[in-house]
Chains A and B, each alone.
Chain A
């Protein structure tokens, strides 16, 4: 316990005495983690949007005009029995007309001249998550289209697929940028610790001469690096939170209009914890790299 107190005190003394390098290390770690955090925020929010759109994805199966009520019921049973189908709801011709009028009240007069209701009855189908890939949906639609009584199967998920692809690319970019920035951050912390070791090489030598083991000498520097990483991640999270709130204010009216203002979310507590842990780990790795080179500080 006494030793632990000594190690922590030594680390704090190092941080205080080398405040210039400390500030540089914390600022650089904060900057790199904040850059990564921006990508992570963008990625997580876009992924949430894509996931939400995918779960809302529906396929419309139009029923031929000539199919009698019994045939419609058989078709509904067939769809319900399909293992790839989650939910099926029937929209009758009358319901379709009512929906059209409700959605487009200004254009409802367009249907008046046609006399008879031209809108077909349909089934609105939600597919199970395993059938949401573009290929699976296409195969399913082709199969259902060949069922007697089915006029047409309609779905439009090109833009959902495009968004999903963008999220996939963004994931790759985030991983790439994260790796590069993490390496940069760890290197800077390693350099900071190395500078400290170099500045204190005489003290280190004295400690060796009076019987200190390498681990006794190294541990304060490992604690120092870990503290620098933690401080860096705390500053990064503060910057990200401030920037996020500012972004939400700026998003304002256009965001509400597009319906994305309430969907845009900051990191969950778990991700905040992970970013803090990332700073801590980067700091530890950086200091470990330098502390293992202790022999060179002789």
Chain B
């Protein structure tokens, strides 16, 4: 039995992420249906569900990679549902995204991949050097900074992707199956890293079906199935 929506758009106490009655179709097939979800600033939320449950779609709606068919999405109280195309890049710069397939630029070095968000923002050269090295150290791949992504293991690639997502200190970190390519030990390290990032005030939303990750996080878990929210447990943890 899907959960009913709580709160309204008129609840103007700005939360970090607010999703109201969101519905998204892919070729007339609903990927998510009437989803309502509110995430506070600094929360760590796990989106749980099997493949095809709508986890990736929900994340895409948040970082404007897929247009919404019905409903509304608000980030820090501002609607992003019908954001102008020219405004989307600026919204995305406030978020770090860890993609399931990493999405690293193959012809660039690890350093250049991680530096890209800062370069896009127009950061100064010394600032870029300092922040990139900090991010690479945080994920433990600073020794591979000159390597190309193809020369890295799947786990290392994922860590570089995380470094790129956190390098510009985003207010929201979205991660889509971030431990999909990792063994249990590495997955544990990555979750600890997310917890550290979260402890600095970043709102973290991780989509996963990995039970070990869910247990390790030990925070709020939203369960999705067939595009609907089935459960929302541990709010306020």
Which residues of A pack against B, CB within 8 Å? 2-3, 6, 13, 17, 203, 206-214, 216
B216 CB to nearest chain A CB (Å): 27
A294 CB to nearest chain B CB (Å): 11
Tell me if B6 is interfacial: C-beta within 8 Å of chain A: no
Q: In the assembled complex, which residues on chain A have CB atoms less than 8 Å from the CB atom of B20?
A: none
Task: Assess A2 versus B119: contact at CB under 8 Å? Given A206-B103, A209-B103, A213-B86.
Answer: yes
Q: Among the listed A6, A13, A208, which residue makes an inter-chain contact with B89, where contact means beta carbons less than 8 Å apart?
A: A208
CB pair B124–A212 under 8 Å, yes or no, is no
User: Can you pick out 18 interface pairs between chain A and chain B where the beta carbons lie within 8 Å of each other?
Assistant: A2-B123, A3-B119, A6-B119, A203-B105, A203-B106, A206-B104, A207-B116, A208-B92, A209-B99, A210-B92, A210-B117, A211-B89, A211-B93, A211-B117, A212-B89, A212-B116, A213-B86, A213-B120
A218 CB to nearest chain B CB (Å): 13
Task: Assess A3 versus B122: contact at CB under 8 Å? Given A209-B65, A211-B89, A211-B90.
Answer: yes
CB pair A2–B124 under 8 Å, yes or no, is yes
CB pair A213–B89 under 8 Å, yes or no, is yes
Residue-wise interface mask of B (107-125) relative to A, using a CB-CB cutoff of 8 A (1 in contact, 0 not):
1000000001101111111
Q: In the assembled complex, which residues on chain A have CB atoms less than 8 Å from the CB atom of B65?
A: 209
A16 CB to nearest chain B CB (Å): 10
CB pair A2–B125 under 8 Å, yes or no, is yes
CA distance A216 to B92 in the complex (A): 14
CB pair A206–B105 under 8 Å, yes or no, is yes
A85 CB to nearest chain B CB (Å): 68
Q: In the assembled complex, which residues on chain B have CB atoms less than 8 Å from the CB atom of A207?
A: 105, 116, 120
B114-172 interface (Cβ within 8 A of A): 116-117, 119-125, 128, 164
Q: Among the listed A17, A203, A211, which residue makes an inter-chain contact with B120, where contact means beta carbons less than 8 Å apart?
A: A211
